[in-house]
Structure 1
């Protein structure tokens, strides 16, 4: 028997990861003029797999400890196309495009999550 958590967990995890990715991308943009700053990003697919328990290590019982989950998990350094002389790897056009795309995907995920919750509410009420 599946619970409500099982029904919405993918979208909830994706929403949290999208928010976290927006914060990382915003940090890149804010540090565009910082000498030596290395642009970072989140490998979204890998991070979502880990959040869902997909991969080599899985907690198969509620009493098992969760593995990983640290704040920097899934964080990777972005490979830039045009390195700056001061060592900064932020490319504003790339960061702005990634931020915009991630924001749109965040909104889409939020819409899907709201629809799932609305559907569950209707099922609970018997509509």
Structure 2
């Protein structure tokens, strides 16, 4: 996906970050019963700092989300088998990421509709 940052801002990166978060959280939920599995998530601050560094360097916020290391989630209540996945927490985090993903899609949709309206002269 190559979205012009002048028209759409940081929405491309927002979509990539939330997509990557949903992948990680889905893997966490899928491995909820795997002994020794460590739950992972993206560190939003690290992603934001990387995006700001790219922007200050003159780049167009070309943050590659895959280059940002996923952090291990600190368990609220670790299990005996070493698994740190709390299914309820993961489901809440997944819902949050999905909501943010949808918000970015809604922003892009509204922006495209306004551009199409301006181009058609309506």
Range into which the TM-score falls when normalised by the shorter chain: 0.7 to 0.9
TM-score normalised by L of structure 2: 0.81
- Indicate if the aligned counterparts of 2:13 and 2:63 stay in contact, CA closer than 8 A: no
Q: 1:32 to 1:9 in 2, by over 3 A?
A: same
Instruction: After TM superposition, list the pairs within 5 Å mapping 1:39-54 onto structure 2.
Output: 39-50=39-50, 53-54=51-52
Q: Indicate the SS of the match to 1:41.
A: strand
- Residue in structure 1 matching 2:57, options 49, 56, 59: 59
Cα separation, 1, equivalents of 2:37 and 2:104: 31
Q: 1:122 to 1:46 in 2, by over 3 A?
A: farther
Q: Give the aligned CA root-mean-square deviation in angstroms.
A: 2.7
Q: CA deviation at 1:69?
A: 2.8
Cα separation, 1, equivalents of 2:99 and 2:73: 21
The unaligned stretches of length 5 or more in structure 1 are none
- Residue in structure 2 matching 1:112, options 107, 114, 122: 107
Q: CA deviation at 1:36?
A: 1.1
- Higher alpha-carbon deviation: 107-116 or 39-48: 39-48
Cα separation, 2, equivalents of 1:54 and 1:122: 32
- Indicate if the aligned counterparts of 2:54 and 2:62 stay in contact, CA closer than 8 A: no
The unaligned stretches of length 5 or more in structure 2 are none
Number of aligned pairs?
120
- Residue in structure 2 matching 1:97, options 67, 92, 98: 92
- Indicate if the aligned counterparts of 1:25 and 1:98 stay in contact, CA closer than 8 A: yes
1:125 aligned onto 2:103: no
Q: CA deviation at 1:35?
A: 1.1
